[in-house]
Amino acid sequence: MLKLNGLKPERVFCYFEEICAIPHGSEHMEPIAAYCMAFAEKNGLKAVRDKANNVIIYKDAAPGYESAEPILLQGHLDMVCQKTEDCRIDFLKEGLDLYVEGDFVKARGTTLGADNGIAVAMVLAILEDKTLEHPAIEAVFTTDEEIGMIGAGRLDFSLLKAKKMINLDAEEIDVLTVSCAGGSDFQVQLPIAREKKVGAKVILTVKGLLGGHSGVEIHKGRINAARLGGAILRCTEADVISVNSGDKANAIPNHCCMELCVTAPNVFERELETVRELLEEYRQQEPELTLSVVYGSVEPYEVLTAETRALLVGALTTPPDGVVAMSRAIEGLVETSLNLGILATKEDALFLHFALRSNKEAALAALEEEMKTYFQPEWIRTFGHYPPWEFKENSSLQRLYKELYREQFGSEVKVEAIHAGLECGVFSAGIEGLDCIAIGPQLYDVHTVHERLSISSTEQLYGLLVKLLKASR
């Protein structure tokens, strides 16, 4: 493990390194929650851990701040675990391999998990520091945010008194986020029927796509590899053995692997030319896009029947994809979207997992109803609904942050609503009258193996956060 303690602010990066050494992918929250509880005990702070492994740590007000309103600081404990094909790290057992390159902290071969590990690290540094001036702090670390904000949805809000909240899950130092999308998960299990065919196995693999966050990058024209797989299948009559793409619903898949059974090689070679022409159409959007074709032996294979194959192609190409509607009220804001994040061939079904998002509750419900028209009711499962975070007029927290940002940087902070989901929506629904903002240091390419965290922006953001706490009398 590369020691990062020499970076400033030192304690923030010390805690970030410790967090990255602990496996903390979604659905595996026990070790990181235990780490937070051990931190609280070591620092003599009251803490609560619930059945969902959410952790709340309480810190009393500094002298002179006893009558000030408490402040809620919030981040999530889980990370999206993605890695390169040649990376051997076991996310269930091993930590990340961190390194510094210029102004950035990165991880070799994997996602960095600065979304949202750096938030947890900053809050721990604040909780530890007895010299800071601040109101009473309620630090809330939620679990399984990346797979539907599950931890926040199970949180007992009666354990919290604060009516002001600073969420640290934003990704741009010069942006103040004041509203976000709600969302839901839409899963489909297409029943499989198979038949035996004798032919040559051919493995088609599309890779090198940019991928990315299905909220943050959904408007950037990045190609969904699962959808592209459906378009490729339309170019060929080869039988399908299996097709797989993506492993996170909220990440735009960047690769797709199809196992085909080819009974007419000459015809298939001509079809491949059509496939290559199709891929050339996307070259400007996806400059690293590649197609791999690997031929195997001639044998009997269990392939999808023509009817099942048609169902699959229809499921991949017929429903809407990406941006569904732009906001009429906020210029440049994606209002409603969906992302096919997971496509998997199972023994008895073809599994599709869509992530739906909207900044309007009614639009989200309408998109769910539209999606239901493409599939049989018994194939569908919807869950993981989380509410949008509506913009709050006359927010004292917004005003104070904008003033402090102007003093520190000599410019105005950008105030934005975003299409990505934040837990602010869940907290706003659970705490009546909550005044909330979302801020964060500069992150790039989150949810991908190219994820990186700006060191200088982390120092700036941490300093600004300390000033905000001090000014919150």
pLDDT for position 125: 98
The pLDDT of residue 444 is above 90:
yes
Q: Give the chain's mean pLDDT.
A: 95
- Please give the average per-residue pLDDT across 188-214, as a whole number: 96
The pLDDT of residue 250 is above 80:
yes
pLDDT for position 2: 61
Q: Domain 10-170+422-471 maps to which CATH number in 3.40.47.10, 3.40.630.10, 1.10.10.10, 3.10.100.10?
A: 3.40.630.10
pLDDT for position 215: 87
Q: In sequence order, what are the residues at sequence separation of 6 or more whose Cβ sits closer than 8 angstroms to the Cβ of residue 197?
A: 239, 261, 263, 300, 301, 303
Catalytic residue among 78, 321, 423, 451: 78
pLDDT for position 280: 95
Q: What is the pLDDT of residues 360-382, one digit of tens each?
A: 888 999 999 999 999 999 999 99
**Which regions of the chain carry the CATH code 3.30.70.360?**
193-335
pLDDT for position 225: 98
**Which regions of the chain carry the CATH code 3.40.630.10?**
10-170+422-471
| Domain at 193-335: CATH architecture | 2-Layer Sandwich (3.30)
The pLDDT of residue 434 is above 80:
yes
The residue among 430, 395, 383 whose CA lies nearest residue 162 is 430
CA atoms within 13 A on the CB side of 174: 5
Q: Round to whole Å and give the CA distance between 115 and 80.
A: 8
Residue 44 backbone dihedrals phi, psi, to 5 degrees: 65, 35
Report yes or no: 182 and 428 within 8 Å, Cβ to Cβ.
no
What pTM did the predictor assign? 0.73
Q: What is the pLDDT of residues 395-433, one digit of tens each?
A: 999 999 999 999 999 999 999 988 887 899 999 999 999
H-only helix segments in 108-263: 114-128, 150-153, 225-234
Q: Which residue type occupies 50?
A: D
DSSP per position, 271-340 = HHHHHHHHHHTTTTT-TT-EEEEEEEEEEEEEEE-HHHHHHHHHHHHSS--EEEEE-SSSTT-EEEEEEE
Is 78 an active-site residue? Answer: yes
Q: In sequence order, what are the residues at sequence separation of 6 or more whose Cβ sits closer than 8 angstroms to the Cβ of residue 462?
A: 9, 12, 122, 125, 441
Is 369 an active-site residue? Answer: no
Residue 104 Cα to chain centre, angstroms: 20
- Please give the average per-residue pLDDT across 84-100, as a whole number: 96
The pLDDT of residue 322 is above 90:
yes
| Reported confidence tier of residue 3, pLDDT bands at 50, 70, 90 | low
Q: Identify which has the larger pLDDT, 156 or 85.
A: 156
Catalytic residue among 138, 145, 239, 445: 145
